[in-house]
Structure formats: structure tokens, C-alpha cells
Structure 1
Amino acid sequence: MKLLRRGGSDESADHEVPVPEALPDGEAAAAAPKVTTGKGRPTPKRRDAETRRRGPVAPAPMTAKEARERRKAARKSQSKDQRKAAAAERRAAASERRNRMLAGEEKFLLPRDRGPERAYVRDLVDSRRNLVGLFMPLALLLIMSMFLGPVVQQYVTLAMFLLMLLMVIEGIYLGRLVNRKVRERFPDSAQGGFGLGWYAFVRASQIRKLRAPLPRVKAGDAV
């Protein structure tokens, strides 16, 4: 394409202006600059996204009655097989917790049994042969003696009175012993006094195989 000067002369040097050639549609689309546009909103956190997927969570029950009603409603919404599976799962979980409690794992123990001082007291009691351990067998013997003659009842009652007096004396001695041992082993501990002595007495009065947590030491072992 030629452009003429204003004077109409075409003798001057011509200036050619390049004209872009037309590209095919596919090449033109590929050559066009790509523009990335934002979503217009911030990316949600993973916790918020999971909450939206799960839906709203019901508030915790305020009373035991409300908790029972929720359990009943949940059972009604389940099939018979689902209820059996849930019951079996609950029994298995309860059995697992009990086994770990009997083994002495700290987080599965009852509040009264937690702490290194209480574990040490249990070991002290379990390592001794305590007279107070005869309390439950003697109570059973007293009940059985009621069906015997009055003369036998009299002798049994007298013998049990003497044994119970000895058990009280041993309980006082055991309470003082465990308090002294605990103060020596744990000088900075706040555990002690009547509560610790009563804890030792109650454990010593139980049959060895029925104690919970189970004994970790044998009778006669050094603690």
C-alpha cells in the first residue's frame, strides 16, 4: 500500500506499512494472551470445609434424661443388625478399658487410684500378708454361723470380735507405715494422712485376686 505526500507527488520514497496477515482461528486463539481470573472469595480452611460437609453438630445433652432420649432415638433409627453391631462394639470397648485399668495404665484408672503415690501404696500392701485380708472370709463365716446352735454362735462371735480388734490394730499400723514410706519416697508430695492410710486399709481388706488394679508384686517381694 502506498501513501502519497500531501503535495500529490509520488516521486518521493514510498513508505510501506506492514499489514498483519490473518491467522487461522485455532492459531489466533492459541496466540491470544491468557488472563487468569480469581475465584472472588478466599480459599476456605480445611476444618471449615469438613464442617460444612458433615453438617451441623448437635449440642451435647444437658441432662442424663436428654442423653437417654437421644440414645433411644438413635436406636430406633437403626436396624436390628446395626444395633447388634453397636452393642458388640460397646462391649468390646468396655472390656478393653477394664483390661487396661486392671493392668494399671494411668489414664484408665479411677481418680482414687491415680498417681505414683497410690501405685506405690498398692505395691506396699500387695507385698505384705495382711491380717485384715481375712475380713471378708470372716464376715461370710459369721453369716453361716447364724444357722448353727446358740453355743457355736457364741464362740464364733467371740473369736470374730478378737480378730476384728486385731485387724483394727493392724490397720492403724499399716496406715502409719504407708504414710512414712510415702514421705520417704515422695518428700514433696501432698498425699498423706488419713486418706492414704484408709486407701491402704481398704485394699488390704480385699481378697488378693479381686483387687483392682491387679497386684504387680508378689507377697514377700521387696518394694
Structure 2
Amino acid sequence: MLFRSKSNSAQPTVPEDDAAASRTVQAGKGHPTPKRKTSEALNKRPLVPADRKAAGKTARVAARAQRDREYQAMQTGDEKYLPAKDKGPVRRYVRDHVDARWNLGEFFLPIAMVFVVMTFAFATNAAVSTVVVLTLYVVVLVTVIDAFVMWRGLKKRILTKFGADTYLKGLAMYAVMRGFQIRRARLPKPQVKHGEYPV
């Protein structure tokens, strides 16, 4: 009669795949999974900083540095630090086109000031005052027509260069407003001379 050892008979036979899976489960990740409350507590950030005075000072310093970078970019045309309203190759193209063109709008403000002075100077002479005012209206009309012609040509250039699906919203006003500004007062500063149209 043969006798088996108790240790051998007590242990059930485990397939190799199950044994490997068991070892993987036992190995685990080396540490217990943290509770949800613990994880949420670690991720929480205070809405109000402890030292509000120091936080405010830091924010002011950061804002001042940002303004300085933007001002410098306005002078040099550095795309990296320009304000959002001036960023992008399309807006850069618009600025260069407007700056390369002789726009009647850039002379409008000085001319208008002259006409205002003339209106006061000839206030007692109704005939001359009427002529001055009508002439001013003609100047306004001509500059508006010139701005329309400028945008019409610029729009065609934009669609040709950047594609028919280019987002044009806001560009017309952007171009016209720049065209009506005195060249020296434009920001960002003009990076091209008159006649140097962008390709």
C-alpha cells in the first residue's frame, strides 16, 4: 500500500497561467491605492492665497513685465509678444499692406483740423462757412471711398495668399482704422516703407 505525503495531497494543482496571474496580482504596484478623499485633498488649491499682499504684488510685477514686453514688441514688430489683436501672419500682412500704401485717411486728421479752424475763423461769413463745411464733407467722402478701394484690393490679396477659407471677420475694420491713423502714431510701428508691398 502506497502512502502520499500530506503536503502534496493538500495542495491543489494550479495551472501555469493562473499561477502567473496570481503572482502579478500579488506583486501589485508596491503601495496601496490612496482613498478618494486623500487624492482630492492633495489636488485642492486655495482660492484665496494666504498672503494676499504678496500675491497682489507678484501679480502687479507680472502684469508690468507683460506690458513692457508688449510695448517693446509694438516698437519692433516682434510677433511673440504682440497683443492678441495684432498677432498672426494675416494681420501682419494687413499692416504691411496698409503701411506700404499712401492712404488718404492718414492725412484726414490734419486736414480736418485745418477745416475746423477755418470754420471758426469765418464764422461771421455765412457763405464762406458753408463752402468750408461742404468741402470738409467732400474730403470725408473721398477718404471713405479710398478706404473702400484699399480694402477691396487687400481682400483679394489676402484670399490669394492665405486661401479662400481665410477668416476675414474684423480685418476690414482693422485695416481701415490703421489707414486713418497718422503713420507715426501707428502701433505696432510700421515695418515697411511706402511702396514696399508684402509679397
Shorter chain as normaliser: what TM range? 0.5 to 0.7
Query: Could you tell me the TM-score, scaled by structure 1's length?
Result: 0.57
**Counting helix residues as a fraction of each chain, which structure ranks higher?**
2
CA-CA distance at 1:118 after TM superposition: 1.1
List per-residue Cα deviations over 1:60-102 (Å, max 9, x = no partner).
6xxxxxxxxx9xx855x7xxxxx8xx97886555323311234
Return the letter of the residue paired with 1:126. D
Residues 10-159 of structure 1: pairs in structure 2 closer than 5 A = 58-59=46-47, 74-75=52-53, 91=64, 93-150=66-123, 151=125, 152-159=128-135
The answer to which structure, 1 or 2, has the higher relative contact order (CA under 8 A, 6+ apart) is 2
Normalised by the size of structure 2, how large is the TM-score?
0.63
Identity %: 32
CA contact (8 A) 1:208 1:215 kept: yes
The gaps in structure 1 that reach 5 residues or longer are 1-40, 43-51, 61-69, 78-82
For 1:202, which of 156, 161, 177 is the aligned residue? 177
The structure with the larger Rg is 1
Count of aligned residue pairs for this structure pair: 159
- TM-superposed CA distance for 1:173, in Å, is 0.5
Kindly indicate whether residue 178 of structure 2 is the aligned counterpart of residue 214 of structure 1. Answer: no
User: Does the CA contact (< 8 Å) of 2:100 and 2:192 recur in 1?
Assistant: yes
**Unpaired runs of 5+ in structure 2?**
1-30, 33-41
Contact (CA 8 Å) 1:128, 1:219: kept in 2 or not? yes
- Deviations along 1:18-61, whole A, 9 cap, x unmatched? xxxxxxxxxxxxxxxxxxxxxxx89xxxxxxxxx9xxx85326x
The two structures, once aligned, show a CA RMSD in angstroms of 3.6
